[in-house]
Amino acid sequence: MYRRYLTALQRWTLGLDVWINRIYPSDLNPLYYTGGLTNLFLFVLVLSGIFIFFYYVPSLNGAHASVAYLTEQVPYGGLIRGIHRYAADAFIVAALLHLFRNWFTDRYLFARDSPWISGMFLLLFGGFVGVTGYILVWDERALVVFSEFVRLMRSIPLVGDRFAWVLQAGPGISDETLPRMLLLHVGPASALYVLLWWHYVRLRHPKVWPPATWVLTSLGIVTVLAAVVPAVSGTPAQPGLQPRTMWLDVFYLLPLWLAGYLPPLLVVAGIGLLFIAGFAIPYVNREDPQAMGVRHAGVAQVVDGNCTGCELCYYDCPYNAIVMVPSPYPGATRAAANRKLLAVVIDSRCVECGICIGACPFEALELPAFMEGDLQRRVAEAVRA
């Protein structure tokens, strides 16, 4: 059932690609760059965030005023704030598109589980950074978001009160709260780049950046939005006072909206289950490679004497499983006699696909189950028979 739906979604996704490729040249199809666009928006967020950081005062009395000063008094401050706000939404949209696209097109299975798991962490951290960003403005909405967030945390059995204590930096809202929020905003945001390293480490040619046309168009859309619909603060937060009705951003604050209608523990459990399901996707309904007719080939082995250090296998391996190291001694063949580098296979990364074998013109790589000599012998025997 699950596989049938996934196949239908895959067909639909690929159909959409074909349709977009009729409008755009295929190398400019924006759906091929959802990951790069997410990275672009993260870069915009970091740059605009650094600018905002210089003016932000993390205290109950100073936070709202500092944001107002940035928006109204600092040259282009309102524009930078708006860019930061809309780039955050665009980041989540692009990340979700990237997630669904890779899910529907089966790009999370086997050796690709590592980018998938790191991607789920990126989404989790990105969402958390977005929520803390809302709180930092410290207007009425921020207070509602913060109170609801604490309420959701408190509903978790056993550890909920401790989580709430960590969020508030104490038993309730105090002057320590906003510095804690700032730490919880900037800290996980920095961790996103560590997670990105993990995301890319198994990929040889990741599309980390979209083409110039999409960089400019995306930046333009965010900038126009920031100018035409500027990000503004509400009235300053006053703990203890009942806030007015307000609009909540569905990208980041949907759980808080749900918490208005459902028991908080149910909302927390729902989010938790959603992420657990997300993390489990690469391991659910995974087909056995042998059942799919894939034979166990063994990790690729470098035939030491034949390697010329040409790096062709290094560039062709899609899983970053081959590294080039300085050659400690010359090769055995004429072509390898003056080599400077030697290919080394990282066993834990090799998926036994054999691409490196095809890439190497010097017969310097072998799959143990398909050694060239054995294959020749088997072919000769088959011909004789």
Residues at the interface with other proteins (CB under 8 A): 24-25, 27-28, 72-73, 75-76, 78-79, 82, 211-228, 230
Q: How far is the CB of 72 from other proteins (least distance, A)?
A: 7
Q: Between residues 60 and 219, which has the closer beta carbon with respect to other proteins?
A: 219
The dihedrals phi and psi of 26, each to the nearest 5 degrees, come to -60, -30
The angle subtended at Cα 286 by Cα 282 and Cα 291, nearest 5°, is 150
Scored b (16 or more CB within 10 A) or e, 263-294 reads ebeebbeebeeeeeebeebbeeeeeeeeeeee
- The nearest distance, CB 18 to other proteins, in angstroms, is 17
Tokens at 258, concatenated: 């749900």
Residue 228 token pair: 């035409």
Q: How far apart are CA 355 and CA 340, in angstroms?
A: 23
CB of 22 to other proteins, least distance (A): 12
State in angstroms the smallest separation of the CB of 227 from other proteins.
Answer: 3
CB-nearer residue toward other proteins: 22 or 334? 22
Tokens representing 250 are 């569905």
Tokens of 40: 């672009």
Nearer to other proteins, 58 or 82 (CB): 82
Q: Which is nearer to other proteins, 92 or 225 (CB)?
A: 225
Cα–Cα distance list, 195 to 70, 115, 121, 186 (Å): 31, 9, 7, 14
DSSP 207: -
Residue 109's Cα: distance from chain center in Å? 16
Find the shortest distance in angstroms from Cβ 47 to other proteins.
15
Q: How far is the CB of 219 from other proteins (least distance, A)?
A: 5
Among all chains, which residue has been given the structure tokens 């924006």? 30
Q: Which helix (H) or strand (E) holds 341?
A: strand 341-345
Give the shortest CB-76-to-other proteins separation in angstroms.
Answer: 6
CA–CA separation, 3 vs 280, rounded Å? 15
